[in-house]
Amino acid sequence: MADKNLKLCLLYDFYGNMLTEKQQECFELYYSEDLSLAEIAEHTGITRQGVRDSIKHAEAALLEMEEKLRITEKTQKLQEGLAEIVAMSREAERINRIDTPSLEMSGILRDIEKTARKLSEETL
Amino acid sequence: MADKNLKLCLLYDFYGNMLTEKQQECFELYYSEDLSLAEIAEHTGITRQGVRDSIKHAEAALLEMEEKLRITEKTQKLQEGLAEIVAMSREAERINRIDTPSLEMSGILRDIEKTARKLSEETL
C-alpha cells in the first residue's frame, strides 16, 4: 500500500464521490482519521484483508481518474494563475496610489482581486 | 434515447476518456459524425441494438459523472468569472488612458487580461 500521502488525499477531494461507499468509508478512516487496517476492520466489520483491498482499489481508481481527467493538474495551474492576478491587481493598486489616485480605478482593481479570490475558493 | 444535444457533447468533452473504447466510438459516430444507429452498426460490426445500448450507457455514465463531480458546472462559473476579469481590466485601462496614462499601469493591466484569457483557454 502506498504511504499515506497528500497527493492521494487531494485526489480524494476531487474524485472521492466516484468511489463506492465502502471504499469511501475505508479511505477516510485510513487517510483522514489515521486508523490502522486492524482498527478499520474492527470498526466496519470487514476483514482486515477486505479493508486493505478496498483502500488499494480506491487508490488505483483515484490515480486512474486523474490520469484520464487531469482535474487536479488543471486546478493547480488555475490556482497559480489566479494568484498571479491577485498579486498584479495589488501591484496596480500600489501604482494607482502614487501621485493622484483614481477612486474609480481603485474600485475596479479591488473587484478584480475579489473576483480572482472567489474563483480560487470555488474551484478548490 | 435522448435527442442529440449540446449538453451531452459538452459532458463528453470533459468525461469522454472515462468511457469504454466501444462507448467512445459509438458516441462519437452518433453525436459528432451524426450517423444513424443502423449506419454505426454497419460501420462497427456491432448489432443495431448493441449500438443503441452502448450510446445509452455512455449517456447515463456522462450524466452520472457530472452529478458526482460537477466539473462542467464549475467550469462554466469559472469562465464567467474570468470573462468578468477581462472586462474589468479593459475598463481599468480605459480609465488609465484618461488624463495622464501610466505606462507601468498599462503593462500590468494587459498582463492581467492576458493571464485571465490564458486560464480561460486552458480550462475549456
User: At B90, is the pLDDT very low, low, confident or very high (cuts 50, 70, 90)?
Assistant: very high
| pLDDT score of A3 | 53
Model confidence, pTM:
0.80
Question: Which cell numbers hold the place of B109?
Answer: 493591466
| pLDDT score of B40 | 97
Which of A68, A92, A115 has its CB closest to that of B105? A92
- Would the pLDDT of A101 be above 50? yes
Are B112 and A17 in contact (CB < 8 Å)?
Answer: no
HEC string for chain A: CCCCCHHHHHHHHHHHHHCCHHHHHHHHHHHHCCCCHHHHHHHHCCCHHHHHHHHHHHHHHHHHHHHHHCHHHHHHHHHHHHHHHHHHHHHHHHHHHCCCCCHHHHHHHHHHHHHHHHHHHHCC
More confident: A1 or B29: B29
Architecture of domain A6-69: Orthogonal Bundle (1.10)
Which of B85, B118, B123 has its CB closest to that of A112? B85
| pLDDT score of B94 | 95
| pLDDT score of A5 | 82
Domain map of chain B by residue range? 6-69, 73-122
| pLDDT score of A1 | 47
Share of chain B above pLDDT 90, in %: 85
- Would the pLDDT of B56 be above 60? yes
Distance (Å) of CA B37 to CA B11, B19, B33, B45? 21, 19, 12, 12
Which of B17, B119, B122 has its CB closest to that of A68? B17
Are B74 and A111 in contact (CB < 8 Å)?
Answer: no
Q: Tell me what the pLDDT averaged over chain B comes to.
A: 93
Share of chain B above pLDDT 70, in %: 96
CA–CA separation, A16 and A28 (whole Å): 10
User: At B89, is the pLDDT very low, low, confident or very high (cuts 50, 70, 90)?
Assistant: very high
Chain B residues interacting with chain A (CB cutoff of 8 angstroms): 14-15, 17-18, 65, 68-69, 71, 74, 77-78, 81-82, 84-85, 88-89, 91-92, 95-96, 102, 104-105, 108-109, 111-112, 115-116, 118-119, 122-123
Read off the amino acid at residue A42.
E
